[in-house]
Structure 1
Amino acid sequence: MVSVNIPGVVGIICFYLFILGVGIWAARKSKKPSSATRNPQGTDTPANGGMTDSEDVMLAGRDIGLFVGIFTMTATWVGGGYINGTAEAVYDPLQGLILCQAPIGYALSLVIGGMFFANKMRSLGYVTMLDPLQAKYGERMCGLLFIPALLGEIFWSAAILAALGATIAVVIGINGTISVIVSACIAMLYTLFGGLYAVAYTDVVQLFCIFVGLWLSIPFAMTHQAVHSITINSTRWIGSFSANDAAQYVDNLLMLTLGGIPWQVYFQRVLSARTARGAQILSYMASLGCLIMAIPSILIGAVAASTDWSATGYKRTVDNIIIPSERKLVLPLVLQYLCPPAISFIGLGAVSAAVMSSADSSVFSAASMFAHNVVKALFPSASERCILLAMKCSILAVGSLACLLGIMIESIYDLWFLSSDLVYVILFPQLISVLFIPFTNTYGSFAGFIVGLFLRLTSGEKAFGLPVLFYYPGYDYEAGLQRSPVKTIAMLGSLAVSTAVSYLMHRLWLAGKLEGRRDFFGCMSREARAPVNGRRIVSGEKGTDVAKTVEFSTTCSIDKKVADIQGTEQKEEKGKEVGEDDVEDEAEAVGVPLTASENDKGK
C-alpha cells in the first residue's frame, strides 16, 4: 500500500480550487448581457442575434473569439486519454511511435473538419450537430442517431476520468475513486452555472497547465541516473511497421480521422465561433495545437523505453519492462519514479487539467444535445426555463454516469473504443449524406444505420466476445483477427446503402408512388408541406431583438444555400439596411421561400 503524500494532496486541492475559481469567474462573466454579437459573416446584430436563452448558454452567445476558441478546441482533444495514451503507445514494445496514430489522426480530423464541415454548419446557424439530421430525417430518426452520439460522449468522459484516478493513485497514493468523484464534481459544478463560457475559459487555463506541467518534467526525467539517452535505443520506442498490418493501420487511421468529425464536442466549438471563417481557422490552429501537445507525451514514452526500471523505486518489472497491466500508467510512473516530488506534483496537475478539460466539454456536449434535440422535440411548447433546467439535470446525469463507469468498469477503454467505432461507422455517413447529398431522406438514413451496424457487429469484436460471423479476406485464424479494414468497409457500406435507398425512394416520390399512407416515415410528405433543411438569421427587426429566419428547401444543395446566405449578408455589409419587405424581395430573388409567419409580418 502506497502511503498518502500529504504535500501532493494539498497541491492537488489548491489546483482544483483554482480551476473552480476560474470556472465561477467565467460563469459570472456569462451572466453579463452584451450589447451586440456578430453573425457568421462578421456583421453586428442586436443583443444575442435572436438566440434563445438555452442556445445562448450552449454556444456562449456565438461570441467565442479565435484565441479562446483555439485553446478550448485544442484542450478538448488533448485530454487525459490523449497524453496518457500517446506515452503508452510510444513505450509499448508492440507499437512504438510509428503505430501511435492518435496525434496525426486527430490533427487530420480537425483539418478535414475545418475544410468541409465547419463553414457549412456555422453558416447555416445550427445549434447542435444533430440539427441538420433532425431537420432532414425527422425527430424519431434523430432520436435513434442520438444514441451513438450520447454513448460516445459518456464513454469518452468515463475513460479519461478512470485515467485520472489511476494516475493520482500512483503519484500521491490516495484512492483513485476519491479523485474521480472530486474531479467530476468540480467539472460539473462550473459547467452547471457557466455553460460553454465556463468550459471555454477553464480550457485556456487547463491547456496552459498541461503544456507547462509536462515540459517541466521532461528535463528531470531525461537526466535521471536510471535513464539512458533516448537516441541510443531509438529503435525500441520508434517501433516498426509490418506489411501484414497495413490494412488495419489504414483502417484505424481513417477511424481516428473521419470518425473524429461527427462529435458534438467538436461542433459545439465550431458553432460558437463568431464567424464561419473563424470556425475554420480555429479548427486549423487546433490541429497544429494537437501535434504540439503530443510532443511531451512522445518524449515521456521514449524516456520510459530507455529506462532501467530495476534501478528505480519501481519493482514490478518483467525483463526490465513494465508489466503489461500497468503500461497504461507509463506517464504517471515516469512522474513518480524519475522526477523530484515537487515536479511530479506539477505533472500530476497537468494530467488533472487534461482530464477536466475534456470531461467538462464532453458532459456539456451530451447535455446540450439532449436538451435541444430530445427535450424540445418531445415538449415543443416547453419554456426556455424548462429547457435550461433539463440541460442542467442532464449535465448532472451524464456526469454522474460517466463518473460511475470510470470507477466501476475496468474495460472502459474498450467501451470508449467501441463507441468511437460506432460513431465512425454510423454517424459519419449520416453527416456526409445530410450535408452533401441533396436527395437523402429518412428511408436511406434508416437503411444505412441498420446496414452499417450489421456489417460492423458481424465482423466480430474480441474485446466484447462478439463472434465473427463474416470472415473477410486475410482473416488471421491463429490470432483471431480481421486483417481487412472492417470499420471502413462497414462505413462505406452504410454510406452506399443510404445513398442508394434515398435515391430510389426519391424517384418513387417524384413518380407519385409515395403519397399519403405509403410514406411510412412521413418524410416525403413533410418535405412537400414544409421544405426545411436549415435556417440562417438574415437580419434583425429594426429596434428590436427579434431576428428573422429564412427556411430553405431540402431539394436545393447546401452549397447553394451557403452561397445565397453569404451573398445576402455581403449586401448587408455594404450598408444596406434590409426592412421586412426587402427581406421578402431578396429571398424571392435567390429562390428562398419565406415562412408563412414572415409573409404575414411583411404585410
Structure 2
Amino acid sequence: MAVDVPGLVSVVVFYICILAIGVWGSRKSRKVEKKCTGTKSEISIIGGRNINVLVGVFTMTATWVGGGYIMGTAEAVYSPSQGLIWALGLPAYAANFLLGGLFFAKPMRSKCYVTMLDPFQNRYGKAFTATLLLPALVSDILWVACILSALGGTMSIILRLSSTVSIIISAAVSIVYTFLGGLYSVAYTDIIQLCFIFVSLWLCVPFLVLSPAVSIISHTPALNQSYESSWVGHLELMDAGKWVDELLLLALGGLSYQALYQRVLSAASSTQAQITCYAAAVTVFIMGIPSVVIGVVAASADWNQTDYGFPPPFERGDAGKILPLALQNLTPTWVGVLGIGSVAAAVMSSMDSALLSSASMFTQNIYKTIVRKQASERELQWVIRISVLLVGLAGTGLAFGGDSVLAFWILSGDLTYVVIFPQLVCVLHFRHVNCYGAISGFVTGLLLRGLSGEPVLGIPAVLRYPGWREENSVIVQYFPYRTVAMFASLLSIIIVSCLVDQIFHHQLIPQSWDFLKVFKKKNEPEEEEMPDASEEMKCALTTKF
C-alpha cells in the first residue's frame, strides 16, 4: 500500500517543531551556564537545580507517559486473557510517584546529589557504584527499545510507512535535541509533547466510542464470544501472584530510575521536589485513561465491519498493535494521524529522558570519578553527548526485534526492581548497611532473578516456583518470583551488613581482613549523614535566573 502522504507531512511538521523547541532549549541551557555558579555538566544533568514546579510536573509526567505506557495499557485491556484488571500501569505509576514523594524525594534532594548513584558512591565507593550502573544502563536501553518499537508499529499501520524508517527518524530527532541541550531541551520539549498527547488522545475518544463498528462496551460482541473473558478481565487465584508481581514491579521499579531523580534533583528545594511527585501521580493516571478506552472499544468492536475484517486482531497475533489498529479502522483518517502524533510525542518524551539518564550516571559517577578525575567541564559535556548517542543507538538497534510492547515495558523495569530498588532503600533509609551487605544483596537478587528464567530473552527457568506452567514449550512463572528476588536482596543487604559489623566490632576476625576498608573509615564523617539544612546551603545556587 502507498504511503499516506498527508499524514506523513503532518508528522514531519510535528517533528520539525519538536526539534526547533529542543534547539531553543539548548540555547537556554547555554545562557544559564553563563549566569550560573554551578558546573556546566551539572546544568546539563539537573538544569542548575532551577526547574520550577510546573515544568517539573510536565517533564516528570511526560517521561512516564511513553509509548510503552500508552500502547501497553491498550494492549492489556484489549487482550482477552488479561483485560482492564491487568492494566496495571495507571495505579502502579500513580503509586510510584506517591511513594517517591513520601520516601525518596526529600532524602535525595536535601543531600544535594547529582545522580541516583551518588549516595552509593558516598557510602560504598567507586567500584560498587560502577557495578550498579550496569543494570540501570540495561534498563534504560530496554526502555528506549520499548517505546521505539511502539512507534514503529503505529506508523507502519496508520501511515503505511516502514517501521524501520519510522524508528530511525524518531530516534534521530530525540538524540539530536538531547545531544544539544541536556535537561533544558528535554524539559521544554516535554511540555509541548505532553500537551499534544493529552489533546490528541482525548480527541480520539469520542470518534472511537461512536464508531458504527463498536457495540455497547459493557459486553463483548457476538464475534468475540470465543474469548475467555470480556474487556473487564478476570483474576483467578492461581494468577494472583503474577498480578501482584507485575504491579509491584511497575510501582517500585520506577523508584530506581535515574529519570525520576533527574527531575527530583533539578527542583529548587526538597518541598518542590515532593510537590512535583504528588502532582505527577495525578496527571500520569489521567493520561492513561484514553488508552484504557481504546482497549475497551477495540475489545467491543465488530472487526468484520471494518477494513481489517475477520478474524479480529487478537486471533492474528496483533494485540500488541491494537492502539494503531483501532485508530486506523475505527476513526476518520485525520483523527488517526493525530493519534500517531500522540504516540510519536510520547516516544520522544520518554526516550530523551532515558538517553540523558544513562549519560548522566556514566559521566558523573564513572568518567568524572574513575576514568578522568581532572576532566574539564567541556570534556564532560562531550562525554554526556557521546553517551547519549551510544545509548540511543543501542536502544534503536534492539527496537527492531521487539513484537510485544507490553513485554518490553515489563522487562525494562525488571532489573531495577530486583537489583537497584533494595539497594536504594537501604542506602537512603538504613544507616548501618555497608559494602559487604550491598555486594551480597546484589549477587543474591541477580542470581535468583537469573535462575527464575526469562521467556522474552530465551533464558530457561532453573528455579520453578509453585504454580509454574508450560506455555508453548516455555516455562512461565505465576509466582511473584521477581518480588521474592527483591526481598531476598533486601534482607541479604541488611543481615550481612549487621553480621559483618558485629564480627569486626567484636574483633572476631582481624581488622586486616577488612579488604574493602569499610570499618577503617567507620569514624570518618560521611557526607550523607550531614544535616539537611547545611546540605541545602551547600548546594544552593546563589545566582537567580
Within the candidate set 368, 373, 385, 2:365 is matched to: 373
Q: Secondary structure of 2:115's match?
A: coil
Within the candidate set 245, 248, 253, 1:259 is matched to: 253
The AA in structure 1 aligned to 2:448 is: L
Larger relative contact order, structure 1 or 2 (CA cutoff 8 Å, min sep 6): 2
Alpha carbons 1:148, 1:419 under 8 Å: kept: no
Q: Secondary structure of 1:185's match?
A: helix
Structure-2 separation of matches of 1:372 and 1:503: 30
Corresponding residue for residue 517 of structure 2: 522
Within the candidate set 487, 497, 500, 1:505 is matched to: 500
Structure-2 separation of matches of 1:477 and 1:210: 39
Alpha carbons 1:155, 1:412 under 8 Å: kept: no
Residues 524, 386 of structure 1: CA spacing in aligned structure 2 closer, same or farther, 3 A cutoff?
farther
Corresponding residue for residue 484 of structure 1: 479
Within the candidate set 305, 308, 317, 1:311 is matched to: 305
Structure-2 separation of matches of 1:33 and 1:14: 29
Structure-2 separation of matches of 1:236 and 1:474: 24
Do residues 275 (structure 1) and 269 (structure 2) align?
Answer: yes
Residues 166, 477 of structure 1: CA spacing in aligned structure 2 closer, same or farther, 3 A cutoff?
closer
How far 1:417 sits from its partner (Å)?
Answer: 3.2
Alpha carbons 1:222, 1:229 under 8 Å: kept: no
Residues 401, 565 of structure 1: CA spacing in aligned structure 2 closer, same or farther, 3 A cutoff?
closer
Alpha carbons 2:246, 2:410 under 8 Å: kept: no
Alpha carbons 2:178, 2:185 under 8 Å: kept: yes
How far 1:10 sits from its partner (Å)?
Answer: 0.6
Corresponding residue for residue 226 of structure 2: none
Q: Secondary structure of 2:308's match?
A: coil
Within the candidate set 38, 48, 51, 1:51 is matched to: 38
Structure-1 separation of matches of 2:412 and 2:516: 27
Structure-2 separation of matches of 1:232 and 1:491: 39
Structure-2 separation of matches of 1:401 and 1:468: 27
Map Cα deviations across residues 67-123 of structure 1 (whole Å, 9 max, x no partner).
110010000000011011111111110111111111111110110011000011000
Deviates most, 291-300 or 473-482: 473-482
Corresponding residue for residue 428 of structure 1: 421
Do residues 219 (structure 1) and 206 (structure 2) align?
Answer: yes
Within the candidate set 122, 137, 157, 2:109 is matched to: 122
Map Cα deviations across residues 537-583 of structure 1 (whole Å, 9 max, x no partner).
xxxxxxxxxxxxxxx47xxxxxxx337757x89xx9xxxx9xxxxxx
The AA in structure 2 aligned to 1:338 is: L
Map Cα deviations across residues 458-509 of structure 1 (whole Å, 9 max, x no partner).
2233333333323333444688433321111111111111111111222233
Within the candidate set 236, 241, 253, 1:247 is matched to: 241
Deviates most, 247-256 or 147-156: 247-256
Q: Secondary structure of 2:465's match?
A: coil
Do residues 562 (structure 1) and 532 (structure 2) align?
Answer: yes
Corresponding residue for residue 5 of structure 2: 6
The AA in structure 1 aligned to 2:160 is: G
Structure-1 separation of matches of 2:327 and 2:464: 44
Within the candidate set 179, 184, 187, 2:166 is matched to: 179
The AA in structure 1 aligned to 2:525 is: P
Do residues 356 (structure 1) and 348 (structure 2) align?
Answer: yes
Structure-1 separation of matches of 2:80 and 2:533: 52
Percent identical across equivalent pairs? 43
How far 1:413 sits from its partner (Å)?
Answer: 5.8
Map Cα deviations across residues 305-348 of structure 1 (whole Å, 9 max, x no partner).
11111111113x43x45435211111111111111111111111
Structure-1 separation of matches of 2:22 and 2:389: 16
Corresponding residue for residue 464 of structure 1: 457
Alpha carbons 1:138, 1:523 under 8 Å: kept: no
Corresponding residue for residue 525 of structure 2: 531
Do residues 166 (structure 1) and 153 (structure 2) align?
Answer: yes
Q: Secondary structure of 2:476's match?
A: coil
Corresponding residue for residue 329 of structure 2: 337
- Unaligned runs of at least 5 residues, structure 1: 36-46, 535-551, 554-560, 578-603
How far 1:526 sits from its partner (Å)?
Answer: 4.0
Structure-2 separation of matches of 1:397 and 1:412: 22
Map Cα deviations across residues 188-208 of structure 1 (whole Å, 9 max, x no partner).
111111110110010000001
Alpha carbons 2:49, 2:265 under 8 Å: kept: yes
Corresponding residue for residue 297 of structure 1: 291
The AA in structure 1 aligned to 2:417 is: Y
Q: Bigger radius of gyration, 1 or 2?
A: 1
Deviates most, 224-233 or 195-204: 224-233
Deviates most, 241-250 or 402-411: 402-411
Length-normalised TM-score, structure 1: 0.84
Report how many aligned residue pairs link the two structures.
530
Structure-2 separation of matches of 1:500 and 1:563: 32
Alpha carbons 2:313, 2:319 under 8 Å: kept: no
Corresponding residue for residue 88 of structure 1: 75
Corresponding residue for residue 31 of structure 2: 32
Structure-2 separation of matches of 1:419 and 1:474: 24
Do residues 100 (structure 1) and 59 (structure 2) align?
Answer: no
Structure-2 separation of matches of 1:441 and 1:514: 17
Do residues 70 (structure 1) and 57 (structure 2) align?
Answer: yes
The AA in structure 2 aligned to 1:254 is: L
Alpha carbons 1:96, 1:236 under 8 Å: kept: yes
Deviates most, 464-473 or 332-341: 464-473
Map Cα deviations across residues 333-367 of structure 1 (whole Å, 9 max, x no partner).
11111111111111111110000000011111111
Structure-2 separation of matches of 1:218 and 1:415: 26
Q: Secondary structure of 2:321's match?
A: helix
Alpha carbons 1:152, 1:416 under 8 Å: kept: no
Deviates most, 87-96 or 381-390: 381-390
How far 1:414 sits from its partner (Å)?
Answer: 4.3
Corresponding residue for residue 446 of structure 1: 439
Length-normalised TM-score, structure 2: 0.92
How far 1:524 sits from its partner (Å)?
Answer: 2.7
